[in-house]
Amino acid sequence: MASETDSSQSGLLWDYALERYARDGVAECCVALQDEAGADVLLIIVAAYLAERGIPLTGQRVQVLVSGASALQASLIEPLRALRRANRPPDGEACERQRDTYQSLKQAELAAERWQLAQLAGLVSSWNPEQGPTRQLLQSNIRAVAGAAENSMLDRLIRALRTDW
């Protein structure tokens, strides 16, 4: 069972993810990075979260995050996402049962993502700030987990995620 600190960290990370994803332009950039570059959106969100806390992603930390995310991503999140997308109702033509199925798959995918963020929060809970948050740290952290994503796409995401530091 998770400790209260782990649970609190998990809640903070989930709230952060929801708030950032709702920002203008963030969801579109994240979906494009996911679809076009194969980036793991949850890792990008965690990278931004850590940057805002002054925690840089070193090579070893990136490895910890990637291996901590990969099993659940491959076994649960990606299959649920594929099922949800395959069952997306066509505009205006869907029956109620199809819409309900789509919404159920969407909720299951979100629950799996929340579970993954909780696991990642546990992995990063002992990492301490090493500097103040900066745009450069945000860029560095996101680039460390974004894989082969285009720089222009990453720059758009960084602008959308950035807070006024």
State yes or no: pLDDT of 149 exceeds 90. no
**pLDDT tens per residue, range 16-34:** 999 999 999 899 999 888 8
Across the range 156-165, mean pLDDT stands at: 78
What confidence tier does 37 reach under pLDDT thresholds 50, 70, 90? confident
Across the range 10-19, mean pLDDT stands at: 89
State percent of the chain over pLDDT 70: 91
DSSP 90: P
Do the Cβ atoms of 23 and 109 come closer than 8 Å? no
- The pLDDT of residue 130: 92
**pLDDT tens per residue, range 50-67:** 999 999 999 999 999 999
Alpha helices (H) in the chain, listed in sequence order: 4-21, 26-37, 41-52, 59-72, 78-86, 96-124, 135-145, 151-161
pLDDT higher for 80 or 150? 80
Do the Cβ atoms of 29 and 151 come closer than 8 Å? no
DSSP 23: S
Across the range 79-94, mean pLDDT stands at: 84
**pLDDT tens per residue, range 110-135:** 999 999 999 999 999 999 999 888 88
What confidence tier does 9 reach under pLDDT thresholds 50, 70, 90? low
